[in-house]
Amino acid sequence: MRTIDWVDGAIELIDQTRLPDACVTLRVHTVDELIGAIRRLAVRGAPALGVAGALGVALARGDREAVARLRAARPTAVNLAWGVDRAAARIEEGPEAVLETALQVRDDDIAACHAMGERGADLLQGDLLQGDRLRIMTVCNTGGLACVERGTALGVAQTLHERGRLAEVLALETRPLLQGARLTAWELGRMGAPHRLVTDGAGPYLLARGGVDAVLIGADRIAANGDTANKIGSYALALGAARAGVPFIVVAPESTIDAATPSGEHIEIEDRGADEIVAFRGARVAPEGTDAINPAFDVTPHDLITAIVTEARVIRP
Ligand SMILES: CSC[C@@H](O)[C@@H](O)C(=O)COP(=O)(O)O
């Protein structure tokens, strides 16, 4: 199953707003439809956004203004702009060249996720932990739904599971949009991998209590100094992991490393507005008129990160 693909002249993607209740495929024919799908998180996760951006340029048919709007649909994940730029670099050569590059971005992601899974699992089973079966904590969704076929951080857990070396995944539910509860639990269930869901606030406490061997997270943008933007809640886990002496590992493709951004304070953090906090799926959960702050991501300073695993290397910031 592919999260996103190019089928008969259009983009097909799994509508992640409908999961876990229904697995529905959307066909996207225009850049504006794609921008809408990105903004409402029908397609989400940094690597999938990179592929969406590249395939979206093929939908733009040379319209540079549409390409610019697509590039800016969400600000934090560098992969979106990266994917758009890769495909847009070939606009002058014509639509076939653009599509060829977009499909290459898709295929590169599939290969990178396989490589990250192997490298991450080797790291955890090798010099870092040497445990028999590992207990992994994670936040948000970093599985195949955030990429094309396999995931980044959750891809490492999947590889451990396939090797018979996964004790369980503790998945943070990930307020406010519940990517952990809705998407990660759904993926782990389909894999047959042992898992339990925990509230976001329980993460650091469970680390302190000693029930976790490693924290694995993905990334939306890694600055040149290793500071890493990822789903809100990652920073609290990093602090908890540091205090508990638990390795905190970022798993992300090379395309998420943004050499042009020197450090985390320069990363734009998307604020998704109060509505997602004060209500859930149309049901109000806070008193009428309550305002809220809703940063979708936070930044973990590089000194709290044990290792960054990419398809090509292990970086120890
Ligand atoms: C492999 S996905 C890495 C990140 O993109 C992921 O952890 C994340 O924060 C996704 O946020 P989202 O708002 O769901 O797009």
Torsion angles phi and psi, residue 249, rounded to 5: -120, 130
Question: Please, are residues 28 and 37 in contact by the beta-carbon 8 Å criterion?
Answer: yes
Q: Could you tell me the sign of the dihedral formed by the alpha carbons of 28, 31, 33, 35, in that order?
A: positive
- Ligand 1 centroid to Cα of residue 140, in Å, is 6
Q: Which class is 4-107 in CATH?
A: mainly alpha
Q: 22: burial class by Cβ within 10 Å (0-12, 13-18, 19+)?
A: exposed
Ligand 1 atom index nearest CA of 217: 7
* 224 is known to lie in a ligand binding site: no
pLDDT in tens, 140-161: 999 999 999 999 999 999 999 9
List residues with catalytic annotation. Answer: 220
Q: How many CA atoms does the CB half-sphere of 2 hold within 13 Å?
A: 18
* 231 is known to lie in a ligand binding site: yes
Six-digit token string for 230: 């990822």
Question: Please, are residues 299 and 262 in contact by the beta-carbon 8 Å criterion?
Answer: no
Cα–Cα dist 253/219, whole Å:
9
- Ligand 1 centroid to Cα of residue 139, in Å, is 9
pTM of the model: 0.97
Task: Show Cβ contacts of residue 68 under 8 Å, excluding neighbours closer than 6 positions.
Answer: none
* 44 is known to lie in a ligand binding site: yes
Cα–Cα dist 270/166, whole Å:
34
CATH number of 115-315: 3.40.50.10470
Tens of pLDDT along the chain (317 residues) come to 899 999 999 999 999 999 999 999 999 999 999 999 999 999 999 999 999 999 999 999 999 999 999 999 999 999 999 999 999 999 999 999 999 999 999 999 999 999 999 999 999 998 677 668 999 999 999 999 999 999 999 999 999 999 999 999 999 999 999 999 999 999 999 999 999 999 999 999 999 999 899 999 999 999 999 999 999 999 999 999 999 999 999 999 999 999 999 999 999 999 999 999 999 988 999 999 999 999 999 999 999 999 999 999 999 98
CA distances from 62 to 66, 73, 95, 96, 226 (A): 9, 18, 8, 11, 35
pLDDT in tens, 235-256: 999 999 999 999 999 999 999 9
- Ligand 1 centroid to Cα of residue 92, in Å, is 32
The residue contributing the CA closest to ligand 1 atom 1 is 142
Cα–Cα dist 269/154, whole Å:
23
pLDDT in tens, 66-80: 999 999 999 999 999
Ligand 1 pocket: which residues have CB below 6 Å?
Answer: 41, 44-47, 77, 140, 142, 146-147, 151-152, 179, 218-220, 230-231, 296
Delimit the domains of the chain by residue range: 4-107, 115-315
